């Protein structure tokens, strides 16, 4: 129970990787705020069914009003904010019918803006919303989720690559800004992970042979699972990482080494 009685906000935690993060943090003793634009109640019920504590907060991370309400409801319910996991993100695909992978000259301005609004602006707004409370506490853990697409320079997903590069930039800048307040800001860069969203896209053939090509570049020749990321999440959320900030940890089975 490394996170006993800690309070953690996990954005985009109604399903996929965010849900996996929320469940693991709850298992470690944290009280969870399931902040999601999809129905967050499902994750809350699952956490409660495992003996944990959680609340649901419908959150649009691209809206300042919504993110401020997220922070306010967390403080009103639990009295503090110890951990923020900035997980919410999009990579355009069905139901928008936009292909996941497409040449950069075929990306529309609307598609570009949609990705930046959630993946970059959303990270900033969530940090902005929790900063005052974490400053008052003199401690806090902010964990941003980037991607190995930045290190690989992945083609055909330019808007997504740029957005995930920005997350690393936000991590480093905010680590410098918040260090005097005892707030850690770190980042995790997952590889091609078989979350619900990715499985749906792979099954629909949207990535072609890419999944197999990625596995071939890894030291461990298997598909990455959400469970592979949980140790890193708990480490950055716990006191074990108190003297680590501004760092990006790649978790991808040894495909990218930087």
Closest among 136, 128, 134, 129 to 7, alpha carbons compared: 134
- Cα 112 versus chain centre, distance: 19
3-class secondary structure for the chain?
A: CCCCCCEEEEECCCCHHHHHHHHHHHHCCCEEEEEECCCCHHHHHHHHHCCCCEEEEECCCCCHHHHHHHHHHHHHHHCCCCEEEECCCCCCCCCCCCCCCCCHHHCCHHHHHHHHHHHHHHHHHHHHHHHHHHHHHCCEEEEEECCCHHHHCCCCCHHHHHHHHHHHHHHHHHHHHHHHHCEEEEEEEECCECCHHHHHHHHCCCCCCHHHHHHHHCCCCCCECHHHHHHHHHHHHCHHHCCCCCCEEEECCCCCCC
160 is catalytic: yes
Among residues 58, 160, 181, 194, the one annotated as catalytic is 160
- Mind telling me the catalytic residues? 160
């Amino acid at each position: 129970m490394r996170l006993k009685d800690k309070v953690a906000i996990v954005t985009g935690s109604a399903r996929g990787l965010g849900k996996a993060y929320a469940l693991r943090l709850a298992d470690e003793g944290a009280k969870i705020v399931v902040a999601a634009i999809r129905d967050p109640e499902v994750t809350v019920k699952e956490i409660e069914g495992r003996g944990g504590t959680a609340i649901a907060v419908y959150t649009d991370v691209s809206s300042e009003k919504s993110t401020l309400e997220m922070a306010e409801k967390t403080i009103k319910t639990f009295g503090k904010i110890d951990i923020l996991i900035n997980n919410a993100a999009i990579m355009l695909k069905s139901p928008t019918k936009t292909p996941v992978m497409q040449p950069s000259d075929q990306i529309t301005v609307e598609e570009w803006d949609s990705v930046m609004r959630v993946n970059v602006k959303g990270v900033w707004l969530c940090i902005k919303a929790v900063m005052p409370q974490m400053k008052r506490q003199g401690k806090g853990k902010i964990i941003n989720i980037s991607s190995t697409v930045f290190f690989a320079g992945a083609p055909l997903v330019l808007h997504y690559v740029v957005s995930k590069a920005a997350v690393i930039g936000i991590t480093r800048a905010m680590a410098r800004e918040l260090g005097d307040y005892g707030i850690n800001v770190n980042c995790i860069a997952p590889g091609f992970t078989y979350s619900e969203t990715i499985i749906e896209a792979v099954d629909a053939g949207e990535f072609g042979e890419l999944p197999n090509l990625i596995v071939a570049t890894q030291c461990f020749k298997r598909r990455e699972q959400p469970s592979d990321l949980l140790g890193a999440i708990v480490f950055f959320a716990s006191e074990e990482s108190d003297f680590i900030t501004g760092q990006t940890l790649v978790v991808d089975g040894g495909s990218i080494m930087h």
